[in-house]
Copies of this chain bind each other. A is one copy, B any other.
Amino acid sequence: MRMTPQRQMVLDAVRTLGHATPEAICAEVQQQSPAVNISTVYRTLDLLEQIGLVRHTHLGHGAPTYSCDPHEHVHLVCHSCQQVIEVEPELLEPLAATLAATRGFTLDPAHLALSGQCANCASQPAPADQPVPGQGHTTRNPEEPV
């Protein structure tokens, strides 16, 4: 594979952004080189994923996020405030072992997020409309309960 400038920029963007949607990655790349097209970003992300340089995680709603973290983590997404919490994948090891033993299923804990309610939202009695304030939403705007 040829590491073209576009591909390098996409990879760099994934590295600097951490967890980002294709759109966000595209925006980042375009700051440096506005002509780069989003379809190139998608094609490149597929490619980089095939060769193992990046991976994507489904957070439940909308767009997946891409990252190239060498040390993966598990994502917990709060379906009240949409906050994304990262925890150590080791937490899933007992479960992974059980699934392997009873089902022969090899768990890939980083690929899909786990859903639930974060400590903050659990303590507040369901703030009816707007989300919990002052809570760093790692990614997106709060609407659909994930």
Mark A105-137 against chain B: 1 for CB-CB distance below 8 A, else 0.
111110111111111001100000000000000
Number of residues in A with C-beta < 8 Å to the partner? Answer: 34
Given A85-B103, A94-B94: A115 and B122 within 8 A (CB)? no
Q: Is A76 an interface residue (CB 8 A)?
A: yes
Chain B hits for A94, CB < 8 A = 94-95
Chain B hits for A139, CB < 8 A = none
| Alpha-carbon distance A1/B61, docked complex (angstroms) | 27
A115 near B108 (CB under 8 angstroms)?
A: yes
B117 near A114 (CB under 8 angstroms)?
A: no
B114 near A106 (CB under 8 angstroms)?
A: no
How near does chain B come to A55, taking the closest CB pair, in angstroms? 10
User: For residues 53 through 93 of chain A, which have their beta carbon under 8 Å from a beta carbon of chain B?
Assistant: 58, 60-61, 76-79, 85, 87, 91-92
Q: Is A34 an interface residue (CB 8 A)?
A: no
A interface residues with partner B (beta carbon < 8 Å): 58, 60-61, 76-79, 85, 87, 91-92, 94-95, 98-99, 103-109, 111-119, 122-123, 146
